[in-house]
Amino acid sequence: MSGANPAEPADVVLVPSSCRPEMLELILAHASRLSPDGLVVLHTRRAEAGQGDATEAALCRHGFHVEQHVRDLRRDLYVARLSAAAQAPRTRTA
């Protein structure tokens, strides 16, 4: 994911519709390359018992801190920011 210049990381990722958990994992893996303080805005189906915790856990696993979680009758909206720890330089291993 990149910003206006392909060499720059994007500032925000919008996920406007619900997706399966495995697709969310893939999106968040790419979103973890956002610019410092980058945001993810994620719209999900209304969580069944325990499902909301799974979404928050996925965000945390990929280095995001949930700043806001808005619950509606049918949808949940998450606003999460890339944490400072996740922004540490990544090293490649052979």
How do the domains of the chain map onto residue ranges? Answer: 12-87
**pLDDT number for residue 11:** 87
**CATH number of the 12-87 domain:** 3.40.50.150
Question: Pairing state of beta strands 75-82 and 64-71?
Answer: antiparallel
**pLDDT number for residue 3:** 54
Angle between helices 51-61 and 21-31 (to 10 degrees): 30
Is 1's pLDDT higher than 50?
Answer: yes
Q: Provide the sign of the torsion angle of the four alpha carbons 70, 50, 67, 60, taken in this order.
A: negative
Q: pLDDT (tens digit, 9 = 90+) per residue, 26-39?
A: 999 988 888 888 99
Distance CA 35, CA 46 (A): 29
Q: Which two tokens stand for residue 47?
A: 């969580």
Question: Taking the model in full, what pTM does it have?
Answer: 0.75
Binned at pLDDT 50, 70 and 90, residue 6 comes out as: low
Q: pLDDT (tens digit, 9 = 90+) per residue, 43-93?
A: 887 766 555 578 889 999 999 999 999 988 788 889 999 987 655 454 444
